[in-house]
């Protein structure tokens, strides 16, 4: 079941399946809610207008997340993308997919996720190929990026990734990327052909150009 999620940075992420069914785009959503500031004299945040098709996703008369005690509401509805290690390494290595990945990161109404497992994948590949300093710098940049949320690998996510690996034969790191993309309703940004088998099962993928693994990854 596709459900909306609240990111750690106060953004409401609507899964692609819900956006498609409701006819929502980043442009139409932004007309009402992107960077909207509403005030209530009673100090209580206003309810979501019932005229909006996606209002049922949040209980009526409940405050929206990112609402302060003085009644100021500031919320962002974002297009959700998931970066795997392929996309990050392409960007760092100046590969064919680097320009496309950089353009994604510049989108004003987009929010990006990466699994902590995939951060570890980037780290160990750079550690092996470029040394500790380069690996540590990349890791720090991923955690500090204002539009990128690193998602922890909890027990349920580990189990879901394990199920995908058992069924598909994906690498364990790729299984995490697929599992989290499906959980969040996010579009996976990658150039790794290993994911093609999951498109028929509902995984949404934006394919980066290029056929070889970045930084000589095997």
Q: Is the pLDDT of residue 115 over 50?
A: yes
Write the pLDDT tens digit of every residue in 5-25: 665 555 566 666 666 656 665
pLDDT at 216: 52
Q: Same domain, yes or no, for 159 and 170?
A: yes
Beta bridge partners of 5: 13
What is the tally of structural domains in the chain? 2
pLDDT above 50: residue 106 = yes
**Domain range for 24:** 5-77
Residues 89 and 130 in one domain: yes
Q: Looking at the structure, tell me whether residues 51 and 150 fall in a common domain.
A: no
| Residues 119 and 67 reside in one and the same domain | no
Q: Residues with Cβ < 8 Å from 26, sequence gap 6 or more?
A: 34, 78, 79, 107, 109, 110
User: Same domain, yes or no, for 66 and 83?
Assistant: no
Q: What mean pLDDT do residues 100-113 have?
A: 83
The verdict on 134 and 106 lying in the same domain is: yes
Do 91 and 185 lie in one domain? The reply is yes
Task: Specify the residue for token string 């959700």.
Answer: 80
DSSP class of residue 23?
T
Task: Give yes or no for residue 67 having a pLDDT over 70.
Answer: no
Based on the fold, state whether residues 198 and 168 are members of the same structural domain. yes
pLDDT at 105 over 90: no
pLDDT in tens, 134-145: 999 999 999 999
5-6 vs 11-13, strand pairing mode: antiparallel
* 110: CATH: 3.40.50.1010
Give the mean model confidence (pLDDT) for residues 52-75.
Answer: 37
In the predicted structure, residue 191 carries a pLDDT above the cut 80: yes
Indicate if the pLDDT at residue 108 is higher than 90.
Answer: no
- The model's pLDDT over 158-176, given as tens digits with 9 standing for 90+, comes to 999 999 999 999 999 999 9
- According to DSSP, residue 67 is labeled B
Domain C-terminal end among 58, 77, 96: 77
Among the three residues 77, 112, 133, which one is the final residue of a domain in this structure?
A: 77
Helix, strand, or coil (residue 45)? coil
- To the nearest whole number, what is the mean pLDDT of the chain? 74
- Domain end call among 33, 62, 77: 77
Give the burial class of 196: count Cβ atoms within 10 A of its Cβ; 0-12 exposed, 13-18 middle, 19 or more buried. exposed
β-pair partners for 38: 73
Domain identity same for 69 and 149: no
């Amino acid at each position: 079941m596709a459900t909306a999620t609240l990111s750690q940075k106060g953004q409401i992420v609507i899964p692609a399946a819900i956006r498609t069914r409701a006819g929502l785009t980043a442009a139409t959503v932004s007309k009402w809610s992107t960077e909207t500031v509403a005030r209530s004299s009673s100090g209580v945040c206003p309810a979501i207008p019932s005229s909006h098709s996606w209002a049922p996703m949040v209980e009526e008369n409940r405050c929206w997340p990112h609402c302060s005690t003085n009644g100021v509401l500031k919320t962002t509805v974002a297009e959700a993308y998931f970066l795997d290690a392929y996309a990050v390494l392409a960007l760092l290595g100046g590969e064919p997919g680097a320009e496309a990945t950089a353009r994604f990161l510049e989108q004003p109404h987009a929010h990006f996720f990466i699994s902590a497992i995939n951060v570890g994948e980037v780290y160990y590949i750079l550690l092996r190929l470029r040394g500790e300093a380069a690996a540590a710098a990349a890791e720090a940049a991923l955690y500090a990026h204002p539009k990128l949320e690193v998602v922890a690998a909890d027990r349920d996510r580990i189990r879901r990734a394990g199920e995908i690996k058992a069924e598909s034969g994906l690498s364990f790191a790729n299984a995490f990327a697929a599992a989290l993309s499906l959980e969040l309703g996010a579009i996976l940004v990658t150039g790794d052909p290993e994911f093609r088998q999951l498109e028929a099962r509902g995984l949404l993928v934006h394919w980066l150009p290029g056929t070889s693994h970045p930084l000589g990854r095997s």
